[in-house]
């Protein structure tokens, strides 16, 4: 967990490792930058704490974690704390009290800090106009943008843009480039190999050291590219039809690659395990792989229940060709958008080449998701999430656990995954994988990711 140091005599807070040397009696510590800002401190101009990543509320109660994820998804960009509380079935007063007790800020203060920090990064990294930065960062108006930036940074957006350092500006050959900071290490090779093996043909590709994919924003197509940028950041290049709401695109990409993940607690808990210890040492910094689209990874998990990886890829290619929207003129093997649940539910997948039983299961699953959008809502607890999925015809427990893992449930464990079983057998472990995983609670998704990574071929250099 990142700890920010605030100096009461200067009113400034700093990130770990800043060169400032204040007297210990003048220092207060905060776990969140937003908490320091709520206490009246402003960001250090030297170490720029807004440029580092870190988990929010990782140790907080489940309800607070769910609220944080909704805030990150934009619930307070235009909504209110009362509406957020209603979604969580609590009063806004109780929600504010929980946030204050566990995070040191109110929901509104956390949302404002996240928007302001993202905007500051855009002002540094990009040449977007101030107006574009405001709406890309989730602000509802330029007036709100100017007010909140002055509250957080004690300067206007124009003044902040004029302060940026020469090396901050990123130039891309088309599109917009941004840094995605992470706390080192991050095992890029293992993570990209995992995504390459599960890439949806036509929608995703991993080539030449970069992950690329198509995305749909309000019906318009875009393309994202992510590659390792340095020892403490990834580089995202976004080609989008508009910049409004870019903050949420970047947050989704960040969750996909685990840039905000704090792996230290899981590593400390599992380092001495005879099965996992050697795997952790072989791939330091491996993150649990996330997902761009919940429905997309759910379809892959359902298809993977009864078929080998090569056959699943052929089936995914067939349904994308049959139901996905074509996006002409792209490179790197990208050709389509992934179909929505509504579209897939109405597509004749048998005619597309899928076996009748598989087609029936997939169409039924797509219809259920189209009818009930909460089925793939990762904000509910793991038991309820997997119970709702396994209640659907043809969806097994391991598939539900695989979906939960990709959507961020820290204790999910797809015990029937072929790669997990192969890795265990390769290490002469004949024990039942699910029973074995009981000892890895509550970090079973982290354990599963290492077991899977050990059995996934590395990408060719």
Active-site positions read: 14, 417
Alpha helices (H) in 187-271, listed in sequence order: 188-197, 246-257, 264-270
Q: What is the CA radius of gyration of the chain?
A: 22
CA distance 395 to 388: 10
Q: How many CA atoms lie within 13 A of 102 on its CB side?
A: 19
Strand arrangement, sheet containing 27-30: 27-30, 4-7, 12-14, 42-43
What is the enclosing helix (H) or strand (E) of 330? none
CA distance 88 to 56: 18
CA distance 116 to 137: 7
Instruction: Classify the C-alpha dihedral 17-20-24-29 as positive or negative.
Output: negative
CA distance 104 to 57: 10
CB 405, CB 448: distance < 8 Å: yes
Q: Based on the number of CB atoms within 10 Å of its own CB, is 95 exposed (0-12), middle (13-18) or buried (19 or more)?
A: buried
**C-alpha distances in angstroms, 124 versus 36, 45, 121, 236?**
22, 13, 5, 15
Phi then psi dihedrals of residue 5, to 5 deg: -105, 125
The two three-digit tokens of residue 239, written as one number: 């080609």
Q: How many residues does the chain have?
A: 461
Look at residues 125, 129, 99 and name the one whose alpha carbon lies nearest to residue 112: 99
Contacts of 128 (CB under 8 A, 6+ apart): 122, 136, 176, 243
CB 79, CB 86: distance < 8 Å: no
- Other beta carbons within 10 angstroms of residue 183's beta carbon come to 20
């Amino acid at each position: 967990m990142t700890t920010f140091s605030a100096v009461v005599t200067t009113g400034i807070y700093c990130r770990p490792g800043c060169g400032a040397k204040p007297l210990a009696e003048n220092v207060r510590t905060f776990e969140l930058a937003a908490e320091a800002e709520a206490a009246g401190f402003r960001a250090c101009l030297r170490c720029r704490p807004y440029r580092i990543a870190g988990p929010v509320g990782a140790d907080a109660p489940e309800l607070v974690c769910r609220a944080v994820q909704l805030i990150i998804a934009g619930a307070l960009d235009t909504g209110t704390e009362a509406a957020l509380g209603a979604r969580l079935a609590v009063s806004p007063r109780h929600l504010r009290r929980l946030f204050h007790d566990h995070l040191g800020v109110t929901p509104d203060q956390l949302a404002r800090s996240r928007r302001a920090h993202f905007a500051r990064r855009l002002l540094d990294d990009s040449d977007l106009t101030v107006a574009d930065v405001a709406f890309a960062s989730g602000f509802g108006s330029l007036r709100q943008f100017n007010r909140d930036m002055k509250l957080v940074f004690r300067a206007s957006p124009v003044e902040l843009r004029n302060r940026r350092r020469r090396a901050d500006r990123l130039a891309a050959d088309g599109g917009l480039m941004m840094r995605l900071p992470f706390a080192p290490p991050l095992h890029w090779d293992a993570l990209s190999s995992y995504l390459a093996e599960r890439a949806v043909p036509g929608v995703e590709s991993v080539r030449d050291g970069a992950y690329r994919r198509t995305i749909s924003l309000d019906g318009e197509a875009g393309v994202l590219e992510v590659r390792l940028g340095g020892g403490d950041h990834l580089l995202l290049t976004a080609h989008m039809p508009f910049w409004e709401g870019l903050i949420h695109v970047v947050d989704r990409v960040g969750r996909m690659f685990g840039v905000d993940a704090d792996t230290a607690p899981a590593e400390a808990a599992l380092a001495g395990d005879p099965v996992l210890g050697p795997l952790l040492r072989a791939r330091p910094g491996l993150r649990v792989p996330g997902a761009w689209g919940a429905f997309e990874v759910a379809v892959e998990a359902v298809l993977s229940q009864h078929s080998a990886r090569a056959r699943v890829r052929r089936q995914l290619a067939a349904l994308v060709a049959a139901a996905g929207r074509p996006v002409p003129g792209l490179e790197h093997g990208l050709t389509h958008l992934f179909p929505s649940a509504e579209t897939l539910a109405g597509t004749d997948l048998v005619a597309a080449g899928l076996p009748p039983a598989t087609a029936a299961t997939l169409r039924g699953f797509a219809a259920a998701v189209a009818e009930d959008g909460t089925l793939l809502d990762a904000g509910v607890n793991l038991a309820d999430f997997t119970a709702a999925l396994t209640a659907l015809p043809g969806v097994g427990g391991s598939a539900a656990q695989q979906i939960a893992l990709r959507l961020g449930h820290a204790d999910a464990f797809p015990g029937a995954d072929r790669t997990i079983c192969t890795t265990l057998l390769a290490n002469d472990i004949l024990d039942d994988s699910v029973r074995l995983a009981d000892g890895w609670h509550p970090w079973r998704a982290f354990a599963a990711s290492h077991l899977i990574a050990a059995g996934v071929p590395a990408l060719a250099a």
